[in-house]
Structure 1
Amino acid sequence: MNDLLFSVPGIACGHCAAAIRDCVTDVPGVRAVDVDVPAKTVRVAGGADAAAVRAAIAEAGYEAA
């Protein structure tokens, strides 16, 4: 299992973080989600597929770089 780290420039506040966390948590294989608002990053622990996590971030309304 590897951690995945995504840069998400659109993260601006706690509401953004919660929306992303809610969507990403539902991806199969995700054990934990850490959204760092100041760094504008999302770290995902577990064995989730990177493309599925990117799609979940997009579903929340944000683009993962």
Structure 2
Amino acid sequence: MLLLGMPGGMEMLFVLIPVVLWITALVDCLKSNFSGDSKIIWVLVIIFLPVLGSILYFLIGRNQKIA
């Protein structure tokens, strides 16, 4: 099913993309190992600032993981 061809399809993309980004960031953060309290801080940032928090996590937080 092509979302762009449907009436309201573009609006669906503006909802679907942030939700997928938020879920992906939250799952990745919960599965990863961080030092100290970094994990709980990132989870709270992602939950309370869904779009901005997810973007910040992917730009900054993923570099703070323990290898």
Q: TM-score, normalised on structure 2?
A: 0.34
More strand per residue? 1
More helix per residue? 2
Q: Which has the higher contact order (CA 8 A, sep 6+)?
A: 1
